[in-house]
């Protein structure tokens, strides 16, 4: 998992919401900076976990 700044996404649209999070569709600008086989901008899916302010990594250690 890698942090990518929100400013790298445009056209963010909510698709669905469930028990664990919210799903969005967005255009990722400069995606080829991270993956060579992607176009300059790609439509992707983002997921925001509910209660994501909890430090999940601390529970994994």
- Rounded to whole angstroms, how far apart are CA atoms 11 and 29? 10
- Is residue 61 scored above 50 in pLDDT? no
Could you read off the pLDDT of 8-51 as tens digits, one per residue? 889 999 999 998 899 999 988 876 666 666 667 778 888 888 87
pLDDT of residue 15: 95
For residue 60, the model assigns a pLDDT of 46
DSSP letter at 19 equals S
41-49, strands of its sheet edge to edge: 9-17, 21-29, 41-49
- When comparing pLDDT for 2 and 21, which is higher? 21
37 to 1, 8, 33, 41: CA distances (angstroms): 18, 18, 10, 11
Query: What pLDDT does 12 receive?
Result: 93
Query: b or e along 19-47 (b: 16 or more beta carbons within 10 Å of the residue's beta carbon)?
Result: eeeeebebebbebeeeeeeeeebeeeebe
């Amino acid at each position: 998992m890698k942090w990518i700044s929100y400013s790298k996404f445009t056209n963010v649209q909510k698709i669905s919401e469930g028990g664990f999070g919210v799903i969005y569709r967005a255009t990722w600008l400069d995606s080829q900076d991270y993956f060579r086989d992607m176009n300059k901008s790609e439509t992707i899916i983002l997921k925001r976990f509910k209660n994501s302010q909890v430090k999940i990594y601390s529970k994994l250690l």
